[in-house]
């Protein structure tokens, strides 16, 4: 019993842990960075926009945390490799990976172009997979690690004008299961989080439509939108010892909308 109390007490202590966050300059990424830094983690902020990564790193450091910014294009394999190489040079290991980089384009299905497909799939699905692969190689050497991919409730529910985005997020749920099965023998847990609608850069134009906002809200039993804090709480849980026996799962953080 005494040992269990120690585990419970320290479950969200990420001191001496290195956390790599892609899309770290975005709304969810910023929240994740601050949450893990507040819990003692050393946070690497990776984003395609160097200035955004730097701004989040500055905020984390000003609040007493430890963080480093890195520029990365998750659609380019060499850029991913360079990100992992720099992280290993800075920190010597990667304990936790949070794949948060994502984009979206909303259109009726008949209006999407090949360029739309390539943009969304390359960032959301290709990026998440190959970042997981490259970081996974280091975690295999370490014989431990936690990977959490940011999916979406779009993986389960058909939102109009989101056909390609939904496909990318469903793909994340699928490969999460496979990586979890293949890497369990290396003490690597792979899970994903599926948030509902959050007010971020990706959704602000959609949600400023009052009728659309109210329609979405009416479908959520919890009576409110998801927040970046809700996502961060789930991420902390999945990276903690509390989730050591959880792998290959997707936790949908959406206020009950998927209940139907």
Q: Which residues are catalytic?
A: 165
Q: Which of 44, 86, 49, 89 is nearest to 69 (CA)?
A: 44
Quickly count: other Cβ atoms within 10 Å of residue 211's Cβ. Answer: 7
Torsion angle of alpha carbons 38, 39, 44, 48, nearest 10°? -60
Q: Which of 67, 131, 51 is nearest to 99 (CA)?
A: 131
Q: Which helix (H) or strand (E) holds 57?
A: helix 50-62
Residues forming a β-bridge with 15: none
DSSP single-letter state for residue 42: E
Alpha helices of 96-145 — where are they, by DSSP H? 114-121, 127-142
Edge-first strand order for the sheet with 188-195 is 66-71, 42-47, 18-22, 96-99, 145-150, 188-195, 250-253
């Amino acid at each position: 019993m005494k040992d269990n109390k120690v585990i419970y007490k320290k479950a969200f202590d990420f001191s001496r842990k290195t956390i790599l966050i892609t899309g770290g300059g975005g709304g969810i990424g910023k929240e994740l960075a601050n949450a893990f830094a507040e819990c003692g983690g050393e946070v690497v902020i990776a984003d395609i926009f160097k200035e955004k990564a730097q701004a989040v790193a500055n905020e984390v450091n000003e609040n007493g945390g430890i963080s480093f910014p890195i520029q990365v294009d998750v659609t380019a394999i060499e850029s991913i490799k360079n990100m992992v190489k720099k992280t290993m040079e800075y920190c010597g290991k990667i304990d936790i990976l949070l794949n948060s980089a994502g984009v979206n384009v909303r259109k009726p299905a008949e209006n999407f172009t090949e360029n739309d497909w390539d943009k969304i799939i390359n960032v959301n699905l290709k990026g998440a997979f190959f970042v997981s692969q490259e970081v996974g190689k280091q975690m295999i050497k370490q014989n431990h690690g936690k990977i959490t991919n940011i999916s979406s409730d779009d993986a389960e529910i058909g939102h109009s004008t989101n056909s390609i985005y939904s496909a990318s997020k469903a793909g994340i749920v699928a490969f999460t299961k496979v990586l979890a099965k293949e890497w369990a023998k290396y003490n690597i847990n792979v899970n994903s989080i599926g948030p509902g609608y959050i007010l971020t850069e990706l959704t602000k134009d959609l949600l400023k439509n009052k009728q659309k906002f109210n329609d979405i809200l009416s479908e959520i039993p919890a009576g409110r939108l998801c927040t970046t804090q809700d996502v961060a709480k789930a991420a902390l849980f999945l990276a903690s010892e509390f989730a050591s026996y959880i792998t290959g799962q997707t936790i949908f953080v959406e206020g009950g909308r998927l209940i139907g």
